[in-house]
């Protein structure tokens, strides 16, 4: 009999140890080490039976560009970089109930309607349960095949017999390999199953989409190696109690990263949002202090969003600093600049900053809008409803230049805004469109003087 060994593996990062540890040395997680069995004989057999390929010079490889599979969902195509690449391995993660299975079932319908064969493998739902959900979503096609299966060997046999062009695995945490002596969802099973699907995708030219569960920290469950193995990582974001969902690409070997797609959850499934800027600004209050609009670049397109700030006096020694949708440390830095360079006394103020609509912004071009909203709330002076603020703020109080200013200003003009505050450096090298005023500012003090007026 093959010798069976055991080791303790961290279920968060995949760190292995010969003995149990209360705290993982790799990711510093507590009580995450679980004992897993190892069968060296089975591993050796899988290594020896792998297909051998002879190395060849890269200059002699014939490049035949395969057409991408069009999903007929523009927002999804945008995030993927133009469609699904044949032979690619795509990982989709998100909170429970956010709409991952709904999106993939609608995608399967769109692809199957074009004549492509699609296989949907569910390890969590029976075939009848999938039929109930597909009826609600109006999904029905003779080219869409569904099956309930958890065993890796059986799934591989089904794929090789059916030869579909797209395979969806929902979810990777329910799949197990019989030669891996661990429970489904463990690090060893997730790693082995993903590696098996990767070999299937590359050797047969089949695009495989796998769904991954997320931890309470919002990261995909399993080892970090899982995200390195796949070609594309997509995160489905949004609040369960809100109807809007954001699909974000954090890794894409065949397109740009940080691209987003906007969807709205309705009774009959997810619907694309063609103009996200208009969506995020639809409920913006007019004439209220603490509100500012910024033109942010998300992936390849500009998006106008509203940043709200609320400052109130505190009776505690240490004031609260809370931020939703933006980096909390960045907000603290901007408040320090306002206090040091502008002279605002914010040490006795609780500060709350929020990005309306649930979108998350990470680029530095939103700094000026954050500063304007904070100053507006602190002085209780409303901003102009038709102004947009763009710029990065330095520690000395200067407003630094940003990229792709033409697209930001064009988006602001399209939605009817009249003035745009930009860094002075961005005034050169492009033609300012008509019917919109572009104001160049060099410092935060200058921007506040023009936007809010009076002695700040």
pLDDT in tens, 338-358: 999 999 999 999 999 999 887
Rounded distance between C-alpha atoms, residue 43 and residue 241, angstroms: 45
pLDDT in tens, 215-235: 666 666 666 678 888 999 999
Sign, CA dihedral 403-409-411-415, equals positive
Parallel, antiparallel, or unpaired: how do β-strands 89-94 and 207-212 relate? parallel
Give the three-class secondary structure for 56: coil
Look at residue 41 in the predicted model and tell me its pLDDT: 45
Q: What is the pLDDT of residue 45?
A: 43
| pTM, entire model | 0.78
CA distance 31 to 37: 18
Query: For 359, which DSSP code?
Result: -
Q: Where are the alpha helices (DSSP H) in 230-327?
A: 276-280
Instruction: Find the range with the poorest average confidence among 200-204, 275-279, 439-443.
Output: 275-279
Position 172 pLDDT exceeds 50: yes
State residue 49's pLDDT score. 44
- Write the DSSP assignment of 72-136 as a string of letters: S-HHHHHHHTSSBPTT-EEEEEE-TTSSHHHHHHHHHHHHHTTT--EEEEESSS-HHHHHHHHHH
Identify the weakest region by mean pLDDT among 36-40, 153-157, 369-373, 428-432. Answer: 36-40
- Binding residue ranges for ATP: 94-101
Instruction: pLDDT band for 289, please (50, 70, 90 cuts).
Output: very high
Which residue, among 419, 357, 415, has the nearest Cα to 386 in the 3D structure? 419
Region label for 99, one of left (φ > 0), alpha (ψ between -120 and 50) or beta (otherwise):
left
Alpha carbon distance 401, 392 (integer Å) = 7
Task: Establish how many alpha carbons lie within 13 A of residue 317's alpha carbon, considering only the half-sphere containing its beta carbon.
Answer: 0
- CB proximity list for 104: less than 8 A, separation 6 or greater: 92, 120, 168, 170, 209, 211
Beta strand extents in 128-280 (DSSP E only): 144-148, 166-170, 207-212, 232-237, 244-252, 260-266, 269-272
How is residue 260 annotated by DSSP? Answer: E
Residue 44 pLDDT > 60: no
How is residue 233 written in tokens? 């990582």
Alpha-carbon radius of gyration of the chain: 26
Measured distance CA(155)–CA(121) in Å, rounded: 8
Measured between alpha carbons, how far is 123 from 212 in angstroms, rounded to an integer? 12
């Amino acid at each position: 009999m093959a010798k069976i060994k055991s080791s303790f593996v961290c279920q968060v990062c995949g760190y292995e140890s010969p003995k149990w540890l209360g705290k993982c040395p790799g990711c510093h997680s507590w009580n995450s080490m679980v004992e897993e069995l190892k069968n060296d004989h089975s591993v050796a057999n899988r290594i020896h039976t792998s297909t051998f390929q002879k190395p060849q010079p890269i200059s002699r490889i014939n490049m035949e560009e395969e057409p991408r599979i069009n999903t007929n969902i523009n927002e999804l195509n945008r995030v993927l970089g133009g469609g699904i690449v044949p032979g690619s391995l795509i990982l989709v993660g998100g909170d429970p109930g956010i709409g991952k299975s709904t999106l993939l079932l609608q995608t399967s319908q769109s692809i199957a309607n074009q004549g492509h064969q699609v296989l949907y493998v569910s390890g969590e739902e029976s075939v009848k349960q999938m039929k109930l959900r597909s009826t609600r979503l109006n999904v029905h096609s003779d080219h869409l095949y569904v099956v309930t299966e958890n065993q890796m060997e059986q799934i591989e046999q089904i794929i090789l017999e059916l030869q579909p062009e797209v395979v969806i695995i929902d979810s990777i945490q329910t799949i197990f390999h019989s030669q891996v002596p661990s429970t489904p969802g463990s690090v060893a099973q997730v790693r082995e199953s993903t590696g098996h699907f990767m070999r299937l995708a590359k050797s047969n030219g089949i695009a495989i989409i796998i769904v991954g569960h997320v931890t309470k920290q919002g990261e995909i469950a399993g080892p970090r190696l899982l995200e390195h193995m796949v070609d594309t990582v997509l995160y489905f974001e949004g609040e369960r109690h809100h109807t809007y969902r954001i699909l974000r690409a954090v890794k894409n070997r065949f397109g740009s990263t940080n691209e987003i797609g906007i969807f709205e959850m309705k009774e009959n499934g997810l619907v694309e949002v063609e103009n996200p800027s208009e969506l995020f600004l639809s409920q913006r209050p007019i004439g209220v202090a603490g509100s500012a609009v910024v033109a942010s670049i998300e992936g390849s397109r500009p998006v106008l969003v509203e940043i709200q700030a609320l400052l109130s006096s505190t009776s505690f020694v240490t004031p609260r600093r809370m931020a939703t949708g933006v980096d909390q440390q960045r907000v603290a830095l901007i408040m320090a600049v306002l206090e040091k360079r502008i002279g605002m006394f914010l040490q006795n103020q609780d500060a709350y900053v929020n990005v309306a609509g649930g979108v998350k912004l990470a680029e530095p071009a939103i700094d000026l809008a954050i500063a304007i909203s904070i100053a507006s709330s602190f002085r209780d002076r409303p901003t102009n409803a038709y102004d947009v603020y763009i710029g990065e703020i330095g520690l000395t109080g200067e407003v630094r230049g940003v990229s792709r200013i033409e697209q930001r200003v064009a988006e602001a003009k399209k939605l009817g805004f009249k003035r745009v505050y930009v860094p002075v450096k961005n005034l050169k090298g492009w033609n300012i469109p008509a019917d919109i005023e572009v104001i160049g500012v060099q410092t935060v003090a200058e921007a506040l003087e023009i936007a809010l007026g009076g002695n700040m």
